[in-house]
Chain A
Amino acid sequence: MSTAILESAAVLPTTATPILSAGPASPEQAGAWEKFTALPMPVRTDEEWRFAKVKDLDLSGYVQAQPVDDAAREELLARSEGLAAVAGRMVFANDQLLAQETLGAALRQQGVLWLPLEQAVAEHPELLHKHFMREEAILGGQKFAALHASQVRAGTFLYVPRGVEIDLPIEAFHWMHGAHASVFPHTLIIAEDMAKVTLIDYYESADAAAPGLACAVNDLWLGAGANVTYVCVQNWSRTAHSFQMNSTVVGRDAQSKSLFVQLGGQHVRSESVSHLRGPGGRSDMLAVTVAAAAQEVDARTLQIHEVPNTQSDLLYKNSLDDTARTIFAGLIRVDPGAHRTDAYQKVRNLLLSDEAEANSAPGLEIEADDVRCTHGATCGQIEQEELFYLLSRGIPKNEAQRLIVFGFLNEVFERLGNEPVQDNLRKLVRAKFAAPRQR
């Protein structure tokens, strides 16, 4: 692995522009660039960055990503293994579209749009205008959202018209290639009334040890009665910086499920906001973090109940090994008048090492009285009795520990209710367990 870093560093073009002096990717993005440069970097005393190591946020070492060559293209396409049966698949590397398996003709005829972002901008400006980054980042990542807006070139745009149900999941792979590269993946899902779809994003690095910067935005829009499942598997290199800003707008009687799986990255920041905007709406916010070595995974969430009769249910589970740190800072906000809100928030930390550190700050802000809001946060370790039980059945200690951690995390996967997707996620977690450790 170490030779791979040297090689990629060697091929790094000397002309690569540092991302901090890149300027906007297009003239239309100049406003966002201005905003990015004007906004201050987070500082230690910012409440939204409490517990985080803000001094690690230096982005000066990253450069604009270069297009990948044909050899790399073939390699990455071969490595883009997802589910066996999908409705569509796109593969990007360094924000450049490598391949697209388009949707079936039937879905296209029903009006489903599944396009690279660039094409969507050109062909459907009205949809983009209405939805593209319309919900601003509000959990502290404003500067990084502005950076994304100023640099974004690639991503997936999925529009599912009224009443159309897509049974098989759709997949998108985003690869980071070359040392110190920056990528800005974007995902925009618009599900009209009664539409149904599942989309899975995979974030991967070609070299599991190469430093890089990823700054992603994914926005979900759910019309009345829509049903959207969104899974994002973040598996950037173990030295990467990862920022991710998600917003989900849930309309009347709509059901949203989002799951963030955090495997890679050195410093990971994930922000997720659910706006419960229509009565009867429900949002399930799920996350699984497998943190090891010196990883810091910093998750901020917000459940905003804007109207009466809505539900949200959050479950974040972290397993922490070595000197890993996790931060969970979540808030349930019930706006005035949002009666009969049913909100739940739970974070559970499993500490596997004496050096691991879990920070939890679950919060509630309630301004309506007819509500049921509960939250919980726990920190604990593997029960010695459970371990003993497995050991007494001849299972080696390492394996027994893994099984217990696996069982702990699996509860979250099961909430998806989709076996093939769950199987695939379990496979990815196993791969992380098996990967050589850099302590």
Chain B
Amino acid sequence: MSTETVSQIDIDRTRGDFSYPESHTFDAGTGLTKDTIDYISKVKGEAEWIREFRHRALEVFQSKPMPTHWASKDLENIIFENIRYYLANGQKPTRSWDEVPEDVKRTFERLGIPEQERKFLAGVEAQFDSEAVYSNIKAAVGEQGVIFCGSTEGLREHPEIFRKWFGKVIPTGDNKFSALNSAVFSGGSFIYVPPGVKVKHPLQAYFRINAENFGQFERTLIIADEGSEVMYMEGCTAPKFETATLHSAVVELVAMKGAKIQYVTVQNWSANVFNLVTKRAIAHEEAEVKWIDCNIGSRLTMKYPGVILKGRKARGEVISIALASDGQHQDTGAKMIHAADETTSNIVSKSISVGTGRATYRGLVHIPKHLKGCKNNTECDALLINSTARTDTYPAITVRGTGNSSQHEASVSQISAEQIFYMQQRGLTEAQAMSLSVNGFVNDLVRQFPMEYSVELKRLIDLEMEGSVG
């Protein structure tokens, strides 16, 4: 069996490839100026300080150059003038299922979310275009004092809780795209979990892009107060369009003393989306933050979830799966900034490159001076399916002083011909055998996802692997 004979795969994207007539009551047009921002701020009825925050961010965005010295050249293909920075469906966030418009419900049907599951969800926060269309906070969650709302509502109704941390984990000037998000953000989830509250059911949000040339700039801020626990899940699919779409989110997590946050993402944007996301968490004393991140879709993803380990014994973890198919570049990774004694971090990344796909791991581990007992473990494994596939690994590790340790390991391999032969001998087709091998490669990570996601994930991997062998 020779891998050279393997044909290019044809991505099956019919699953997300549909759209409904657009009827945008609020539309800021294309391009980005001060007027766009004033318009967004006015439509949302925002406080003056938010409008000023947006204006400052716009200045930062315009003054910052595009990332150049390591970023993909593909970024140059983003034409900022052609992007719609804001539009809403003309709907306020709704609270009951009956109020959700029919076409939106149809989209849910196509996404394959069963009725049973919808009822089961602790709270559904579905983002259609740039405004949260549907926000169903289950009574139980609200009773516990948990706030789960959109960014606009969060800043308007609970400024005393959210303003303190808003834009503090990821400052506006962190990078060009976080500045862009700060200028035009809309949608996303703001969550506050009171001290000691353990949220039983995962909080979920489904995101959809449903308009051509339209970027999504959602803003998420999760604050888990002392000793609380919460799991948040986001999954994305997007319809296919002719021109590139920009998705640039900012996600900030704050885990107070002893709190636990798990943030799960399954990213399956269509193959024309630029997915440039900034995600970072602060973990205070004895807090735990875990990013579980799976990237299957998009044209180019650049995403490096990070944890700032600020308090003693804080723990950060990134579990990352990337699947890069034809024409895709999954540029993912992790950042661990140790800033207190006895902090530990763990990064496990697995990537699969198929066809002309390219998977890149970029890592940053920083253990500065005078810290004691800090530990980092990094493992990156890459699997190459075809001879045209590509994988890169670029970790950067800085360790200072004698009290700490770090280890990094990475390997690149291909599916062993013997394994495939063995399975074929037992009656599996080559494609089935490949699919099984790939699922086996990522299985230990997939198992860490919540059950409904891991099932979906396996199905997505099977879909992507379809036709990757001939």
A359 to B396, CA, bound (A): 7
A47 to B392, CA, bound (A): 16
The number of A-B residue pairs with CB atoms under 8 Å apart is 137
Whose C-beta in chain B lies nearest to the C-beta of A367? Answer: B390
B406 within 8 A of A: yes
A67 to B69, CA, bound (A): 43
Given contacts A357-B369, A376-B410, A381-B403, 16 further A-B contacts (CB under 8 A): A46-B69, A336-B388, A354-B402, A354-B403, A355-B369, A358-B397, A360-B395, A361-B396, A362-B395, A366-B391, A368-B384, A369-B389, A372-B411, A373-B411, A377-B406, A381-B402
B410 in contact with A351 (CB, 8 Å): no
Whose C-beta in chain A lies nearest to the C-beta of B380? Answer: A364
- For chain A residues 368-412, which have a beta carbon within 8 Å of chain B? 368-382
The 9 closest A-B pairs by CB, nearest first: A369-B384, A379-B399, A364-B393, A381-B402, A354-B401, A373-B412, A357-B400, A377-B408, A361-B396
- For chain B residues 359-406, which have a beta carbon within 8 Å of chain A? 367, 369-370, 382, 384-406
A47 to B70, CA, bound (A): 7
B405 in contact with A354 (CB, 8 Å): no
A378 to B382, CA, bound (A): 20
Given contacts A365-B392, A377-B395, A378-B407, contact A356 B401 (CB under 8 A): yes
Q: In the assembled complex, which residues on chain A have CB atoms less than 8 Å from the CB atom of B410?
A: 362, 364, 374-376
B409 within 8 A of A: yes
B443 within 8 A of A: no
Whose C-beta in chain B lies nearest to the C-beta of A325? Answer: B400
A379 in contact with B386 (CB, 8 Å): no
Most chain-A Cβ atoms within 10 A of its Cβ — which of B399, B411, B413, B414?
A: B399
CB distance from B38 to the nearest CB of A (A): 35
B243 within 8 A of A: no
Whose C-beta in chain B lies nearest to the C-beta of A51? Answer: B398
B3 within 8 A of A: yes
Given contacts A349-B399, A355-B369, A356-B400, contact A364 B408 (CB under 8 A): no
Given contacts A376-B407, A379-B406, contact A364 B392 (CB under 8 A): yes
Most chain-A Cβ atoms within 10 A of its Cβ — which of B370, B385, B393, B412?
A: B412
A353 to B398, CA, bound (A): 15
B402 in contact with A352 (CB, 8 Å): yes
A234 to B397, CA, bound (A): 26
A339 within 8 A of B: yes
B392 in contact with A369 (CB, 8 Å): no
B405 in contact with A371 (CB, 8 Å): no
Q: In the assembled complex, which residues on chain B have CB atoms less than 8 Å from the CB atom of A374?
A: 409-412
A369 in contact with B69 (CB, 8 Å): no
Chain A residues at the B interface, C-beta cutoff of 8 Å: 45-47, 50-51, 336-337, 339, 349, 351-382
A360 interface neighbour in B384, B408, B411, Cβ under 8 Å: B408
What are 30 contact pairs spanning A and B, CB under 8 A? Answer: A46-B69, A351-B399, A351-B400, A354-B400, A357-B369, A359-B397, A360-B397, A361-B395, A362-B393, A362-B410, A363-B395, A364-B393, A365-B390, A365-B391, A365-B392, A366-B384, A366-B391, A369-B385, A369-B387, A371-B413, A371-B414, A374-B410, A376-B408, A377-B395, A377-B397, A378-B408, A379-B367, A379-B406, A380-B407, A382-B402
A362 to B406, CA, bound (A): 13
Whose C-beta in chain B lies nearest to the C-beta of A380? Answer: B405
B382 interface neighbour in A366, A377, A381, Cβ under 8 Å: A366
Given contacts A360-B395, A376-B408, A378-B407, contact A355 B400 (CB under 8 A): yes
B398 interface neighbour in A337, A359, A382, Cβ under 8 Å: A359
CB distance from B98 to the nearest CB of A (A): 53
A379 in contact with B397 (CB, 8 Å): yes
Interface size on B, residues (CB 8 A): 38
A369 to B403, CA, bound (A): 39
A362 interface neighbour in B384, B400, B408, B412, Cβ under 8 Å: B408
CB distance from A195 to the nearest CB of B (A): 34
Most chain-B Cβ atoms within 10 A of its Cβ — which of A45, A357, A377?
A: A377
Given contacts A363-B395, A367-B390, contact A378 B401 (CB under 8 A): no
Whose C-beta in chain B lies nearest to the C-beta of A368? Answer: B387
Whose C-beta in chain B lies nearest to the C-beta of A362? Answer: B395
Q: In the assembled complex, which residues on chain B have CB atoms less than 8 Å from the CB atom of A372?
A: 411-413
Q: In the assembled complex, which residues on chain A have CB atoms less than 8 Å from the CB atom of B386?
A: 369
A337 interface neighbour in B387, B392, B395, B401, Cβ under 8 Å: B387
A361 in contact with B397 (CB, 8 Å): yes
- For chain B residues 33-85, which have a beta carbon within 8 Å of chain A? 69-70
CB distance from A362 to the nearest CB of B (A): 6
A366 in contact with B392 (CB, 8 Å): yes
- Residue-wise, chain B 404-432 has the 8 Å CB interface mask toward A (1 for contact) of 11111111111000000000000000000
CB distance from A58 to the nearest CB of B (A): 23
Q: In the assembled complex, which residues on chain A have CB atoms less than 8 Å from the CB atom of B406?
A: 377-380
A351 interface neighbour in B387, B402, B407, Cβ under 8 Å: B402
A360 in contact with B396 (CB, 8 Å): yes
Given contacts A358-B398, A366-B382, contact A375 B392 (CB under 8 A): no
A355 to B371, CA, bound (A): 11
A354 in contact with B399 (CB, 8 Å): no
CB distance from B151 to the nearest CB of A (A): 33
A377 to B395, CA, bound (A): 9
A431 to B313, CA, bound (A): 42
Q: In the assembled complex, which residues on chain B have CB atoms less than 8 Å from the CB atom of A368?
A: 384, 387
A364 in contact with B412 (CB, 8 Å): yes
Q: In the assembled complex, which residues on chain A have CB atoms less than 8 Å from the CB atom of B397?
A: 358-361, 377, 379
A352 to B385, CA, bound (A): 43
A380 to B70, CA, bound (A): 29
Given contacts A361-B396, A364-B410, contact A47 B384 (CB under 8 A): no
Whose C-beta in chain A lies nearest to the C-beta of B402? Answer: A381
CB distance from B199 to the nearest CB of A (A): 37
A360 to B408, CA, bound (A): 9
A45 interface neighbour in B3, B69, B389, B394, Cβ under 8 Å: B69
A370 to B416, CA, bound (A): 9
A356 to B368, CA, bound (A): 10
Q: In the assembled complex, which residues on chain B have CB atoms less than 8 Å from the CB atom of A382?
A: 402
Most chain-A Cβ atoms within 10 A of its Cβ — which of B367, B384, B403?
A: B384
CB distance from A320 to the nearest CB of B (A): 10
B384 in contact with A339 (CB, 8 Å): no
A371 interface neighbour in B394, B408, B412, Cβ under 8 Å: B412
A51 to B399, CA, bound (A): 12
A362 to B395, CA, bound (A): 6
A377 to B412, CA, bound (A): 15
B390 in contact with A366 (CB, 8 Å): yes
Q: In the assembled complex, which residues on chain B have CB atoms less than 8 Å from the CB atom of A349?
A: 399
Q: In the assembled complex, which residues on chain A have CB atoms less than 8 Å from the CB atom of B369?
A: 354-355, 357
A360 to B366, CA, bound (A): 10
A47 to B394, CA, bound (A): 11
Q: In the assembled complex, which residues on chain B have CB atoms less than 8 Å from the CB atom of A360?
A: 395-399, 408
Q: In the assembled complex, which residues on chain A have CB atoms less than 8 Å from the CB atom of B370?
A: 354
CB distance from A167 to the nearest CB of B (A): 38
Q: In the assembled complex, which residues on chain B have CB atoms less than 8 Å from the CB atom of A366?
A: 382, 384, 390-392, 412
B3 in contact with A361 (CB, 8 Å): no
CB distance from B376 to the nearest CB of A (A): 9
A370 in contact with B3 (CB, 8 Å): yes
- For chain B residues 307-339, which have a beta carbon within 8 Å of chain A? none
Given contacts A47-B69, A337-B387, A359-B396, contact A369 B401 (CB under 8 A): no
Whose C-beta in chain B lies nearest to the C-beta of A363? Answer: B394
Q: In the assembled complex, which residues on chain B have CB atoms less than 8 Å from the CB atom of A362?
A: 393, 395, 408, 410
CB distance from A292 to the nearest CB of B (A): 14
Whose C-beta in chain B lies nearest to the C-beta of A360? Answer: B397
Given contacts A371-B413, A381-B405, contact A357 B399 (CB under 8 A): yes
CB distance from B402 to the nearest CB of A (A): 4
Whose C-beta in chain B lies nearest to the C-beta of A341? Answer: B412
A92 to B411, CA, bound (A): 44
Q: In the assembled complex, which residues on chain B have CB atoms less than 8 Å from the CB atom of A351?
A: 399-402
B409 interface neighbour in A50, A361, A376, Cβ under 8 Å: A376
Whose C-beta in chain B lies nearest to the C-beta of A327? Answer: B398
CB distance from A211 to the nearest CB of B (A): 27
